């Protein structure tokens, strides 16, 4: 059975060393005043702030903490470690992997240390027990507060639990409670809203919610697959050929857009580039959209947003709901002129008291609209949230005994 951090007597934390898995895989950007890579800054502090409760609790009760995280786009946390400390309200010292053997000495200088990007060690993603064992030495407890990586079977997510008494942090507790609520709440009045480009990860969620939601609203690149499965040509729009067999049979609960915005001058390669890089990849693309009902698209045409009528219809369905779960934007929302549909959806969801949202792009949209504090719960998980909602077992939770 899973054990949560709060079950450790506070007096038992005094002077103890805690290996704390956190998620500081935060979005980053260049500072405006320089293009120097050493001058990066955090684009959104949401994930980092979400770790504060567990960190503060441990420090206030006399524990010493080594923070462990990965980052997908930074080799080292050095460019942003000072900013992470500011967000957490702590002075944090970054520890290189070569300095790990001197941990006891380093803890004499500060009760909170930060091991540099754990993925500098290739054994992490291989779930190497040797790495987990070596990092466990000298520590008294392991706490996983990184729900967003709990769907990964990595050394400092799963194997580490074999070598230390292990607990879930306060953030993991909130995530599991709220996402369980999303699954277990009555289907009547529950609306699932799915968009975005990571198509194959959302299909299992749709399948799990066919009897758990009253309606499932489909937008973004996910809708493109349904249309292509119906025989329509998608032009340069994003699609996922691998999922076609699962989409052949229509389901009455699924609601697709009735009108769309189409933009010309695209190639599929350029569309993929824009999804990754945003507006910087828009050279030689005619981005002026035109409104249209769904139809066969020409080779250089791409769907960039849902149309105004669909946005209105979806918003009305959402506003009548008792509970809404939302993951994924409904177009190229990173580009302002294609963000209207997603913005309307976001505002409608924020008006529903029992709302749960998640996913990096979804959170980015909500933050730009200053809506993050308007939702019932905002999950730090993207892939982990979807895996949980699909009813799949998350390795990080399983290692903590969550499913026992």
3-state secondary structure 106-130: HHCCCCEEEECCHHHCCCCCCCCHH
pLDDT category at 292 given cuts 50, 70, 90 is: confident
The verdict on whether residue 307 carries a ligand-binding annotation is no
Residue partners of 122: CB distance under 8 A and separation at least 6: none
Residue 139 lies in a domain: yes
Of all residues in the chain, the percent with pLDDT exceeding 70 is: 92
Last residue of a domain, one of 174, 205, 228: 174
The verdict on whether residue 11 carries a ligand-binding annotation is no
Residue 399 lies in a domain: no
* Average pLDDT taken over every residue of the chain: 92
Exposure letters 215-232 (e unless 16+ CB within 10 A, then b): bbbbbbbbbbbbbbbeee
Question: Domain check: are 202 and 167 in the same one?
Answer: no
Residues 290, 292, 295, 299, Cα dihedral to 10°: 0
The whole domain housing 196 covers 185-389
The verdict on whether residue 300 carries a ligand-binding annotation is no
The verdict on whether residue 359 carries a ligand-binding annotation is yes
Query: Between 81-88 and 52-60, two packed helices, what is the crossing angle to 10 degrees?
Result: 70
Last residue of a domain, one of 174, 199, 234: 174
Question: Domain check: are 154 and 194 in the same one?
Answer: no
What's the pLDDT score for residue 165?
98
Average pLDDT (242-255) is 66
Question: Domain check: are 42 and 139 in the same one?
Answer: yes
What's the pLDDT score for residue 271?
83
Average pLDDT (332-357) is 92
Residue 25 lies in a domain: yes
What's the pLDDT score for residue 201?
87
What's the pLDDT score for residue 39?
77
Residue 395 lies in a domain: no
Output 43 or 67, whichever has higher pLDDT. Answer: 67
Of all residues in the chain, the percent with pLDDT exceeding 90 is: 78
Q: How confident is the model over 82-127, as pLDDT tens digits?
A: 999 999 999 999 999 999 999 999 999 999 999 999 999 999 999 9
Average pLDDT (317-325) is 98
Question: Domain check: are 84 and 221 in the same one?
Answer: no
What's the pLDDT score for residue 77?
97
Q: Report the 10 Å Cβ neighbour count for 291.
A: 12
Which of 10-19, 224-233, 237-246, 322-331 is least confident?
Answer: 237-246
The verdict on whether residue 361 carries a ligand-binding annotation is yes
Question: Domain check: are 198 and 274 in the same one?
Answer: yes
pLDDT category at 280 given cuts 50, 70, 90 is: low
CA 257 to chain CA centroid, nearest Å: 25
Residue 196 gets the label, from left (phi > 0), alpha (psi -120 to 50) or beta, of left
Question: Domain check: are 10 and 150 in the same one?
Answer: yes
Which of 105-119, 162-176, 278-292 is least confident?
Answer: 278-292
Last residue of a domain, one of 174, 193, 208: 174
Question: Domain check: are 193 and 234 in the same one?
Answer: yes
Residue 398 lies in a domain: no
Q: How confident is the model over 172-191, as pLDDT tens digits?
A: 999 999 999 999 999 999 99
Residue partners of 231: CB distance under 8 A and separation at least 6: none
Average pLDDT (339-359) is 96
Question: Domains in the chain: how many in total?
Answer: 2
The verdict on whether residue 334 carries a ligand-binding annotation is yes
Average pLDDT (386-393) is 97
Residue 180 lies in a domain: no
Q: What is the CATH number of the domain that holds 75?
A: 3.40.50.1260
Question: Domain check: are 100 and 138 in the same one?
Answer: yes
Output 98 or 32, whichever has higher pLDDT. Answer: 98
What's the pLDDT score for residue 181?
96
Residue 126 lies in a domain: yes
The verdict on whether residue 116 carries a ligand-binding annotation is no
pLDDT of residue 319 exceeding 70: yes
The verdict on whether residue 362 carries a ligand-binding annotation is yes
Distance CA 190, CA 216 (A): 9
What's the pLDDT score for residue 40?
86
Question: Domain check: are 162 and 193 in the same one?
Answer: no
The verdict on whether residue 340 carries a ligand-binding annotation is no
Average pLDDT (374-385) is 97
Distance CA 140, CA 231 (A): 59
Question: Domain check: are 336 and 221 in the same one?
Answer: yes
Question: Domain check: are 126 and 198 in the same one?
Answer: no
pLDDT category at 284 given cuts 50, 70, 90 is: low
What's the pLDDT score for residue 35?
52
Average pLDDT (331-338) is 82
Question: Domain check: are 191 and 156 in the same one?
Answer: no
Average pLDDT (378-395) is 97
The verdict on whether residue 83 carries a ligand-binding annotation is no
What's the pLDDT score for residue 247?
52
The verdict on whether residue 152 carries a ligand-binding annotation is yes
Residue 133 lies in a domain: yes
């Amino acid at each position: 059975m899973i054990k949560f951090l709060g079950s450790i007597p506070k007096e038992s934390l005094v002077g103890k060393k805690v290996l704390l898995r956190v998620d500081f895989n935060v979005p980053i950007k260049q500072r405006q005043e320089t293009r120097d890579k050493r001058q990066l800054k955090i684009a959104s502090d949401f994930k980092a702030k979400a770790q504060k409760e567990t960190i503060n609790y441990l420090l206030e009760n006399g524990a010493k903490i080594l923070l462990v995280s990965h980052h997908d786009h930074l080799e080292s946390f050095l460019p942003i470690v000072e900013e992470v400390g500011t967000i957490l309200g702590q002075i944090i010292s970054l520890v290189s992997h070569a300095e790990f053997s001197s941990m006891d000495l380093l803890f004499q200088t500060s009760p909170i240390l930060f091991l540099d990007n754990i993925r500098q060690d290739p054994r992490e993603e291989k779930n190497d027990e040797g790495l987990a064992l070596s990092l466990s030495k000298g520590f008294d407890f392991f706490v996983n507060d990184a729900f967003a990586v709990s769907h990964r079977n990595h050394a400092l997510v799963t194997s580490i639990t074999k070598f230390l008494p292990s607990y879930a942090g306060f953030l993991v507790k909130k995530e599991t409670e709220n996402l369980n609520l999303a699954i277990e709440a009555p289907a009547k009045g529950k609306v699932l809203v799915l968009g975005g480009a990571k198509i194959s990860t959302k299909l299992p969620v749709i399948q799990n919610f066919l009897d758990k939601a009253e309606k499932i609203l489909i937008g973004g690149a996910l809708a493109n697959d349904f249309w292509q499965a119906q025989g329509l040509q998608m032009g340069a729009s994003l699609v996922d050929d691998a999922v076609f067999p699962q989409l052949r049979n229509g389901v009455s609960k699924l609601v697709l857009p009735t009108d769309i915005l189409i933009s010309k001058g695209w190639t599929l390669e350029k569309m993929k580039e824009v999804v990754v890089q945003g507006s910087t990849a828009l050279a030689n693309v005619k981005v002026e959209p035109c409104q249209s009902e769904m139809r066969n698209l020409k080779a250089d045409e791409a769907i960039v947003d849902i149309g105004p009528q669909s946005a209105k219809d979806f918003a009305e369905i959402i506003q009548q709901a008792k509970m809404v779960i939302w993951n994924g934007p409904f177009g190229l929302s990173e580009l302002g002129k294609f963000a209207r549909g997603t913005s309307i959806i976001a505002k409608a969801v924020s008006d529903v008291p029992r709302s749960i949202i998640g996913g990096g792009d979804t959170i980015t949209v909500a933050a730009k609209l200053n809506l993050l504090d308007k939702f019932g719960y905002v999950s730090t998980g993207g892939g982990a949230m979807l895996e949980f909602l699909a009813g799949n077992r998350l390795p990080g939770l399983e290692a903590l005994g969550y499913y026992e």
